[in-house]
Chains A and B, each alone.
Chain A
């Protein structure tokens, strides 16, 4: 079962929830898809790390063959090509590797070359297998790295897989949740947090994914995110209290589940709830 943990903004507790769920599950796989700033490995401190470079194809121009028709320049939605003084120029870091320009060129002046955009690491920590995607700074899109991270893990659906998503609701998040069996939305008890919860709520609805919410940093006072969940009839999977002890453990890159029985119980109970939800959904759909 593949469980994606996401939120509309950074800092709500995606990594806290996904790392601790993976640790509570004992034998599991944790995949850090937050390729622009992966941090799950800081908690797991994986051993025996293997690394693989990820590259995409970008266009290479042969200006001797280019006749300046500009079909490629007009085609590129990201404006990665310009034609100046009878010369075609490619802006590598703007290119999204769609391959369209190379296909279109009537003079075959464009060919493709490999461009390394980042890497994927795999290691283990106790019985947890940890995958980390790392996108190099300045690259256009982390989608190819996420594709690679998830492709390898899509085969074994018996394993418990926790996908730590990037923040927001853009392409890289869509790629991360695409094959998930269930989505956990983590939200903060603020108006801003609620707005961002709505973003991912709309996304998972669009993708037709079963989902539930984890309300993080809950205080005694009114919780706009909780109110939103009640209004939209969103299942609340867990309420994590605003707790400085938990915050401290987390900011010291400790896995709370392994440090304190209280948190072990809390995340084990969340894991049980999520697992039950996934089974329920799977049964309902079969």
Chain B
């Protein structure tokens, strides 16, 4: 299974980024091979619709689940259409969240915000 996480830095010791759409990087972590791939989030500097583009990146990288502290409704729509489940991170560190997810301790993100759309999201 492939897990996608928005991260501040391109290292496993990184913290989870507070923003999904405008995170600088994504970590794609494969739970079977334990392989980590970091990808640049080209949506970070978008004029608008960053969440949609970031979600498209997650879909294109064939992730099965997304671990994120929050997610906007447009991004959630894209992920839902691609059957990608969204789980809420509970720790600052990426590693702790992966461990918690593997132990079945993370719950589905049920609060989808309406998006910032130029009013504080950037």
With A84-B59, A91-B74 known as contacts, the answer to whether A79 contacts B81 (CB < 8 A) is no
A89 proximity list for chain B (CB < 8 A): 77-78, 81
Main secondary structure, interface of B, reads helix
Pick from B50, B59, B82: contact of A79, CB below 8 A.
B50
CB-based contact B56/A80 at 8 Å = no
Interface residues of B in 53-87 (CB under 8 A from A): 53, 55-56, 59, 74, 77-78, 81-82
Bound form: Cα–Cα A78–B47 in Å: 6
B4 interfacial by beta-carbon distance below 8 Å: no
Pick from A79, A84, A85: contact of B53, CB below 8 A.
A79
Pick from B43, B48, B50, B56: contact of A140, CB below 8 A.
B48
B78 proximity list for chain A (CB < 8 A): 82, 84, 89
Total chain A interface residues with beta-carbon distance under 8 A = 17
A94 interfacial by beta-carbon distance below 8 Å: yes
Bound form: Cα–Cα A96–B117 in Å: 13
A87 interfacial by beta-carbon distance below 8 Å: yes
Bound form: Cα–Cα A264–B47 in Å: 45
CB-based contact B47/A85 at 8 Å = no
Map CB proximity to B onto A62-89 as digits: 1 under 8 Å, 0 otherwise: 0000000000010011111111110101
B49 proximity list for chain A (CB < 8 A): 76, 78-80, 91, 94
CB-based contact A85/B46 at 8 Å = no
Bound form: Cα–Cα A83–B47 in Å: 19
Pick from B48, B56, B77: contact of A78, CB below 8 A.
B48
Interface residues on B, range: 10 to 19
Bound form: Cα–Cα A91–B49 in Å: 9
B7 interfacial by beta-carbon distance below 8 Å: no
CB-based contact B56/A83 at 8 Å = yes
CB-based contact B43/A84 at 8 Å = no
B52 interfacial by beta-carbon distance below 8 Å: yes
With A85-B82, A87-B81 known as contacts, the answer to whether A94 contacts B56 (CB < 8 A) is no
Bound form: Cα–Cα A83–B78 in Å: 9
Pick from B46, B52, B74: contact of A77, CB below 8 A.
B46
With A73-B56, A79-B53, A94-B74 known as contacts, the answer to whether A85 contacts B81 (CB < 8 A) is yes
Residues of A within 8 A of B (CB): 73, 76-85, 87, 89, 91, 94, 96, 140
12 interchain pairs, CB-CB under 8 A: A79-B48, A79-B49, A79-B56, A81-B52, A82-B52, A82-B56, A82-B78, A84-B59, A89-B81, A91-B77, A94-B49, A140-B48
